[in-house]
Amino acid sequence: MAAIVSAHAYLVDVEVEKERTDAVQAFLKQETVFVEIRTDDGRTGVGYSYTIGTGGRSVLAMLREHLLPRLPGQDAAAVERVWFDLFASTRATTVGAITSLALAAVDTALWDLRCLRADEPLWKVAGGFRREVPLYDTEGGWLHLSTEELVSGALASQAAGWHGVKLKVGKPSAGQDLARLRAVRDAVGPGLDIMVDANQSMTHAEARRRAAAFEPLDLAWFEEPLPADDVAGHVLLARSTSIPVAVGESLYSVAQFREYLAQGAASIVQVDAARVGGITPWLKVAHLAEAFNVQVCPHFLMELHVSLAAAVPNGRCVEHIPQLRAITDGQLEITDGHAVAPDRPGLGIAWDRDAIDDRRVA
Length of the chain: 362
**290's torsion region: left (phi>0), alpha (psi -120 to 50) or beta?**
alpha
For the chain, give percent helix, strand, coil, nearest 5: 45, 20, 35
DSSP string, 96-123: SHHHHHHHHHHHHHHHHHHHHHHT-BHH
Nearest-angstrom CA–CA distance, 150 and 159:
14
Q: Which of 299, 305, 320, 338 is catalytic?
A: 299
Active site (annotated) includes residue 168? yes
> End-to-end CA distance of the chain, in Å?
35
Cβ contact 356:362 at 8 Å: no
Amino acid at 76: A
Beta strands, E only, the chain? 4-15, 29-39, 44-51, 132-137, 164-168, 193-197, 221-223, 245-247, 268-269, 295-296, 318-320, 333-335, 338-340
Cβ contact 202:210 at 8 Å: yes
Cβ contact 11:360 at 8 Å: yes
Q: Is 146 exposed, middle or buried (0-12, 13-18, 19+ CB in 10 A)?
A: exposed
Q: Which of 168, 204, 234, 338 is catalytic?
A: 168
Cβ contact 315:286 at 8 Å: yes
Active site (annotated) includes residue 305? no
Nearest-angstrom CA–CA distance, 335 and 310:
14
Nearest-angstrom CA–CA distance, 164 and 97:
29
Q: Is the dihedral of CA 165, 168, 172, 174 positive or negative?
A: positive
Residues serving a catalytic function are 168, 299
